[in-house]
Amino acid sequence: MTSHRISAEADPVRPGADRPLTIVVDGEPVTGTAGQTLAGVLLGAGRREWRTTSGGGAPRGVFCGIGVCFDCLVEVNGLRDVRACLRRAQDGDVVVRQGPDRAGAQEADR
Amino acid sequence: MNGVRGRHVVVVGAGPAGLAAARAAADAGARVTLLDAADGLGGQYWRHLPQARPAAREQVLHHRWDTYRELSAAVREHPAVTVRASAQVWSLDRLDDGVRLHVLVGEPDDAGRAPLALAPDALVLATGAHDRTLPFPGWQLPGVYSAGAAQALAKGERVAVGRRVVVAGAGPFLLPVASSLLRTGAAVLGVHEASRAGALARWLDRPWELAAVPGKAAELAGYVAELARHRVPWRAGEAVVAAHGDGQVEAVTIARLDARWAPVPGTERVVAADAVAVSHGFTPRLELAVAAGCALTPGRFVVVDRAQATSVPGVWAAGEVTGIGGADAALAEGAVAGAAAAGADPAPSAVRARDRARGFTARIEAAHGVRGGWVRWLRDDTVVCRCEETTYGRLREVADLTASRETRSVKLTSRAGLGPCQARMCGRTVEELLGAMDPGGPGVDRRPVVVPVRLGDLAALPDAPELPPTPATTGDPT
Amino acid sequence: MSTGVSGGAAADVVVVGAGIVGAACARALARAGTRVTVLDRGAAASATSAHGEGNLLVSDKGPGPELDLALVSLRRWTVLAGELADELGPRFPSVEHEPKGGLVVVASEPGLAGLRELAAGQRAAGVEAVEVTGEQARELEPDLAPGVLGGVHYPQDAQVQPVVATEALLASARRAGAVVRTGVEVTGGLRGADGRLVGVTTSAGDLAAGAVVVAAGPWSGEVARRLGAWVPVRPRRGTVLVTTPMSQRVHHKVYDGDYFAATQSAGAELQTSAVVESTRGGTVLIGSSREQVGFDDRPRAEVLAHMARRAVAVFPFLAQTNVMRSYLGFRPYMPDHLPVIGADPELPGLWFATGHEGAGVGLAPATGDLVAAALLGADPAVDPRPYAADRPTLSALRPDVSDAQAAQVTCASGTTEKAHEGVRP
């Protein structure tokens, strides 16, 4: 696991008690901590990519981390185009991978 | 308190500049509305854990944490300040007699957010900046982050982006990023600063200027000591020129750069790493300033006078939108702008602090400003536009085929800059590659829709809200 | 040729404006062997042509000369798209010519009756216009609002990517010898001893020419004034919203029945209607608005809200989609809703190809052909008289000499004198 949540014991900020939460990502449960963004939950659980680009079908996750690059877009509870780096996770959130978004267009280009 | 009592000042952005502006305006007698898109105060500089995750020693991650605590408490407790968090300004109407802000209040990117319209007597733009990362082969791989992302995830999430991390780019910001990464427990393999030692020596040309900026020299010295303690090499005149990996980063190529930032052939070395944090400077967030019609400098920052007033009557600006100067400059500029927006004379101490900090701004640009040789590390298949995946080769090819060097045309023919980020990531780069800099104009930074808005939320906006002349707020969320 | 080009002229024809209409004129003229120079004070394909949707429509035009021109021009586009692709090669960006068809929908019985009446007239003029029930409309566009009662399907409607289309026409014109000079502003006219326009003065020096074609869109009135002439083109502002990319598609160009009324109106007040279509990039473009506010380029959220309401009424699913961009531009509006294509009635050497309002992309090929035919004395593909600059509906508006403003005109000899707008020879 590359990206990860810092373990409470080792964390110099001395965190208080965490309130765990679980979201469902493409059908799989992923656990995180209340107060984390969706990106924080995903990265904390070792997932670094959760979107497929429109044109090239390449994997993407967080790049800018502050809501500017739109690489981290996910569908949340049926609503597309939510920036995972900004949206706080809620227990039970259903997150679905976005993309590629040009199926129809590729047909037209044929 | 020497301002115009009851004047309504809206401050956009609750980072150091915005917080300082809100307090100064309220202290001068204004009625203040402080807006920020985030659900807490502090901006990117004081990005911190949310209320749901209290920590006993959060200050170990921050500089000037006491300043933040004091400022945020002051604005929250001030009876004349209304703090509106989760309030995203999505549009600004420039009217003949002022501006009108259109705000949506609610969860980021949600549908059904509550509309709010504000027609302030004075507006302070403290919208800050975001990292600028120059493209390089492989920069689109998961595991490559902007330095700001690595920092935000460390401070706001307590997430480590990797276990073996390379930090690269340009500017003093790389130092706190490396420090934050160390405090996630990651191994920082190196900090690679593109500017060469010779350019950086200018930092020391006039040490009294640096010393005159309170805390700045000590802060930087602290980072340097911390890196040394962790045996993190800091290398000047080097860059990450490629990232490699199958579906995510597994290694990077680091090369020496010449004074123009062109890679020196034969100096490349490959380093195994599972994450990279790269930034080459900052891009101001200009959407609202451009919409308001504010004049811009040739380098595209908001032009302000000694009172932080922009070229547009009724609009002031402070912080990184006026030049990348760091938190000290932002705090001082905010204090000046807030007082001036309230109709008061800024405190002489704030003016002096601002003037001192400005020297630092110029110094950062002189030492770390992007040099044109970086394009030499691009390959034809290097992605320039992350959204539309337009490559460097395609961009040049389309510009040649259409004999066009104009960004609007090349955007629409190459698709670079047309995706969801609306050229926030690649716009400056595309302009630079095309040689289409639009000096003094907004260039790629004209974005009348400041952030994406659900069409249903647009449809649900109340018809042109009738705004009373003063005090001037309507459209409270219902 | 009929232009009376002198041997020493730097160009046979100067085209003012590197938008879609200027590009089409330049290509038609250059391919006919004329030496063409295109001038634009800004960049190519960056003003009106870059701020629309690339409509190629017959559906929004009532029977009459504009529809006649559109029918010819849309057929031309079908051929032209292939010609440009063949000529410019596979690496040139695609003009994205999509004969997707238009679907006009209405949600009220009176609206449906009005639309059917319009369609009957269009059919008589040669338009394919197929009446559809609400159910049939939803078969064509499954995401249409349940309240849609019916509409008319127009298979001839199509779309191109207007910036690529303009650049492609310019690239083709260049290959035929045309010269395109951007960042060069026309400041006045060069006059021969007989008063004839024999070139232009510009920010980059004088340029002699046998003929000057003004194709400057909404700025044509100002260019004409500088040349000592008059054309009543006015800017009519429009706004387009762009969503983020999505896999969901709107298969046709779909608009509500009020769009026709808006295009035909002369009102200065804000008018909006829903015009919805997908692009190859996966985005959905949402128009449209019409405002007469001069060249005021300050966006207003209120306009976006009006357009959003219209679009959501037609396609409820759009309420959930994100608008990531809006842009606004200025259509070249004519008071009698017809373009001006042809010679200026008072100043020999001056020609117009302007005033297409929102239809310039669709009408550009036929306009270019008409201009080339007129300048070169060839037979036109359509009767040019309805578009003439001296048609009665324009002559009635022509200002008298007495209230004309001074224009800057330079005699070919180099001396400067005051000329007057609208001076009759």
Residue by residue, pLDDT tens for chain C (425 residues) are 444 444 445 789 999 999 999 999 999 999 999 999 999 999 999 999 999 999 999 999 999 999 999 999 999 999 999 999 999 999 999 999 999 999 999 988 888 999 999 999 999 999 999 999 999 999 999 999 999 999 999 999 999 999 999 999 999 999 999 999 999 999 999 999 999 999 999 999 999 999 999 999 999 999 999 999 999 999 999 999 999 999 899 999 999 987 666 666 677 778 888 999 999 999 999 998 999 999 999 999 999 999 999 999 999 999 999 999 999 999 999 999 999 999 999 999 999 999 999 999 999 999 999 999 999 999 999 999 999 999 999 999 998 744 444 456 666 554 444 433 333 32
CB contacts of B414 in chain C (<8 Å) are 93
Domain CATH for C261: 3.30.9.10
User: Do C253 and C304 belong to one domain?
Assistant: yes
What tokens appear for B33 in the block? Answer: 């509305």
Of C42, C76, C50, C30, give the one whose Cα is nearest residue C174: C30
Within 8 A by CB and 6+ apart from B403, the residues are: C170, C171, C174, C180
To the nearest 10 degrees (0 to 180), the angle between helices C360-376 and C162-175 is: 20
Enumerate neighbours of C (3 or more CB pairs within 8 A): A, B
Q: Among C332, C360, C383, where does a domain finish?
A: C332
Residues C409 and C340 both lie in one domain: yes
Q: Does C134 share its domain with C261?
A: yes
Q: Flag whether pLDDT at B466 surpasses 90.
A: no
Q: Are C263 and C358 in contact (CB under 8 A)?
A: yes
Does residue C392 sit in the same domain as residue C379?
Answer: yes
> How many Cβ pairs closer than 8 A exist between chain B and C?
135
Chain A nearest C-alpha distance from C317 (Å): 11
Residues C324 and C242 grouped into a single domain: yes
**pLDDT on residue B219:** 79
Count CB pairs under 8 A between chains A and B.
174
Domain count, chain C: 2
Which of the listed residues C306, C332, C358 is the one where a domain comes to its end? C332
CB proximity C4 to B under 8 Å: no
Q: Is residue C392 domain-shared with residue C268, that is, in the same domain?
A: no
Q: In terms of domains, do C265 and C122 share one?
A: yes
Choose the mutation target among B386, B446, B449 for the interface with C, i.e. most C CBs under 10 Å.
Answer: B449
**pLDDT digit string (tens) for A41-90?**
999 999 999 999 988 899 999 999 999 999 999 999 999 999 999 999 99
Q: Which of C280, C299, C332 is the last residue of a domain?
A: C332
CA atoms within 13 A on the CB side of C122: 28
- The residue of A5, A43, A80 whose CB has the most chain B CBs within 10 angstroms, and thus the best one to mutate to test that interface, is A43
Among all residues of chain C, which has the CA nearest to that of B94?
C298
Same domain, C205 and C116: no
Same domain flag for C255 and C193: no
As a whole number of Å, the CA-based R_g of chain A is 15
Task: List all residues 6 or more positions away from C128 whose beta carbon is below 8 Å from its beta carbon.
Answer: C154, C155, C156
**C373 occurs within a structural domain:** yes
Split at pLDDT 50, 70, 90, the class of A106 is: very low
Beta bridge partners, B131, equal: B282
ipTM of predicted complex? 0.93
Q: Three-state secondary structure along chain C?
A: CCCCCCCCCCEEEEEECCCHHHHHHHHHHHHCCCCEEEEECCCCCCCHHHCCCCEECCCCCCCCHHHHHHHHHHHHHHHHHHHHHHHHCCCCCCCCCECCCEEEEECCHHHHHHHHHHHHHHHHCCCCCEEEEHHHHHHHCCCCCCCCCEEEEECCCEECCHHHHHHHHHHHHHHCCCEEEECCCEEEEEECCCCCEEEEEECCEEEEEEEEEECCHHHHHHHHHHHCCCCCCEEEEEEEEEECCCCCCCCCEEEECHHHHHHHCCCCCCEEEEEEEECCCCCEEEEEEEECECECCCCCHHHHHHHHHHHHHHCHHHHHCEEEEEEEEEEEECCCCCCEEEECCCCCCEEEEECCHHHHHHHHHHHHHHHHHHHHCCCCCCCCHHHCCCCHHHHCCCCCHHHCCEEEEEECCCCEEEEECCCCC
B455–C320: do the CB atoms touch at under 8 Å?
A: yes
Of residues B477 and B231, more confidently modeled: B231
The model's pLDDT over B312-333, given as tens digits with 9 standing for 90+, comes to 999 999 999 999 888 999 999 9
The verdict on residue C389 lying in a domain is: yes
C-chain residues near A100 (CB < 8 A): 247
Quick count: other Cβ atoms within 10 Å of Cβ B343?
18
Share above pLDDT 90 across residues of chain B, in percent, rounded to a whole number: 79
What's the whole-number mean pLDDT along residues B378-393? 97
Q: What are the strands of the beta sheet with B122-125, ordered from one edge?
A: B81-84, B31-35, B8-12, B122-125, B315-317
- For chain B, which domains are there? 8-130+283-346 (3.50.50.60), 133-280 (3.50.50.60), 374-445 (1.10.10)
CATH code (residue C190)? 3.50.50.60
- A54 CB neighbours in chain C (<8 A) are 245, 281-282
Q: Are strands C36-40 and C11-16 parallel, antiparallel or unpaired?
A: parallel
Do C315 and C242 share a domain, yes or no?
yes
Residues C128 and C241 in one domain: yes
CA distance A38 to chain C (A): 19
Residue C176 CA, distance from chain mean position: 23
CB-based contacts of B166: which residues, under 8 Å, 6+ apart? B188, B189, B190, B192, B240, B252, B254, B271, B273, B275, B276, B277
In a domain, C63, yes or no: no
Closest partner CB to A59 (pick from B108, B247, B451) = B247
Domain extent, residue C281, equals 99-155+235-332
> A104 pLDDT band (50/70/90 cuts)?
very low
The amino acid sitting at B454 is: R
Q: Which residues in B lie closer than 8 A to residue A89 (C-beta atoms)?
A: none
Give every CB contact of residue C18 below 8 A, 6+ residues apart in sequence: C38, C39, C40, C43, C44, C45, C166, C170, C180, C182
User: What is the CATH architecture assignment of A18-97?
Assistant: Roll (3.10)
A49 shares contact with chain B (CB less than 8 Å):
yes
**Whether residue C109 sits in one domain with residue C45:** no
Domain ranges of chain A: 18-97
